[in-house]
Structure 1
Amino acid sequence: MQRGADENGRPTWVPIPPIDLDTLAARKRSEIDTARDQAFATGLPYDIAGEPDVVQTRPQDQINLLGLSSKAQRLIADGVTDPVMPFRGQSNVTRMITPEQMDAMTLDALAHIEGIYQQSWDCKDTIKAALEAEDREGIEEVAW
């Protein structure tokens, strides 16, 4: 409620008008971006060399994962099967893994990242469709 006037001009409490749909949609998109970024920061739980850890999937980690994937594929093509690739997960413990293990792990992490992006895009597409239909409830119901 906010202060306003009644039909006679006397002070009274009146309902706060709802925010406009464009602002509501922008806020929802921002909520989705925040949830997406949190999902990236959470990472992917993964067994690395038989030990539970987390593969970090923040934007800066994504570049590293792509490089490790490329290197693993080259080593696989060269026939390397020994655990020659160091990997350090969220636990900050360096473990040596094989190129095949690195390739599988990076592919799983990249699939995890793609899934996060897809969920974000699906939410934003729903917001866009609801905004175009002027469907306030449709926008309000969008959640990560």
Structure 2
Amino acid sequence: MQPRAGRAIGAVDATGARIGDTYADGQFAPVLLPLAEQQDALRAANSTRHTAAEAAGVPYAFPDGAGTAQTRDTRDLLNINGIASMAAALIAAGETGAVMPFRDAEDVTHMLTPQQAYDFSQAVGVRITALYQIKWQIRQQIDALPDAETAAAFDLDATWGAALQQL
């Protein structure tokens, strides 16, 4: 089966022929896309990784045990912001009891004092901000790639993995 010319690196078509590679002397050789196209693809993949990292939730050490705050979408983030607002109001009113329930991704309800709820909501905000910082730093690395060969070797998964381990 003869390989067909194409644009995707390492992909195969419906017949199993490799797309985007050249075939010479019995060997497949990748055809590198131009630098700008690879950077566009890497930027899109970087955004996808950021969205996935944000949607994975925020691990948190609640006073009664570990849990995960769900941050899948705007609704989850609005709920956490609502907790922060309510906590601030209760702190201002002098409330110190564990009067604020929060149900985590593991379906465990944690009863929090207003200060604990406020601290929790701030920790979520710090994590979300840190994920944006990672995305922007990686975007700068992608923008600075000097050539198509370097872009093809850029390991986005390893870069994200290393950054997430430092959070």
Q: Structure 2 CA distance, aligned partners of 1:46 and 1:96? A: 14
Give the C-alpha shift of residue 100 in structure 1. 0.4
Q: Where does residue 36 of structure 1 map in the other structure? A: 50
| Shift in CA distance, 27/140, structure 1 to aligned 2, threshold 3 Å | farther
Q: Where does residue 83 of structure 2 map in the other structure? A: 68
Is the 1:126–1:139 Cα contact (8 Å) retained in structure 2?
Answer: no
Q: Structure 2 CA distance, aligned partners of 1:3 and 1:98? A: 64
Q: Structure 2 CA distance, aligned partners of 1:115 and 1:99? A: 24
Q: Where does residue 93 of structure 1 map in the other structure? A: 108
Per mean C-alpha deviation after superposition, the further-off stretch among 67-76 and 134-143 is 134-143
| Shift in CA distance, 49/134, structure 1 to aligned 2, threshold 3 Å | same
RMSD: 2.3
Asked if residue 50 in structure 1 is aligned to residue 77 in structure 2, the reply is no
Instruction: Return 5+ residue gaps in structure 1 as ranges.
Output: 5-11
| Shift in CA distance, 139/17, structure 1 to aligned 2, threshold 3 Å | closer
- Specify which of 21, 30, 40 is matched with residue 35 of structure 2: 21
| Shift in CA distance, 55/97, structure 1 to aligned 2, threshold 3 Å | same
Q: Structure 2 CA distance, aligned partners of 1:13 and 1:137? A: 22
1:75-103 deviation per Cα after TM superposition (whole angstroms, max 9, x unaligned): 10111101111101101122221110000
TM-score, normalised with respect to structure 2: 0.71
Give the C-alpha shift of residue 120 in structure 1. 0.4
1:59-89 deviation per Cα after TM superposition (whole angstroms, max 9, x unaligned): 3222221121111111101111011111011
Q: Structure 2 CA distance, aligned partners of 1:42 and 1:106? A: 16
Instruction: Return 5+ residue gaps in structure 2 as ranges.
Output: 6-21, 161-167
Report the 3-state secondary structure (helix = DSSP H, G, I; strand = E; otherwise coil) of the residue aligned with 2:95.
Answer: coil
How many residues align? The count is: 135
Letter in 1 for 2:97: D
Q: Where does residue 99 of structure 2 map in the other structure? A: 84
Q: Structure 1 CA distance, aligned partners of 2:34 and 2:91? A: 56
Percent identity reads 30
Give the C-alpha shift of residue 107 in structure 1. 0.5
Is the 2:91–2:114 Cα contact (8 Å) retained in structure 1?
Answer: yes
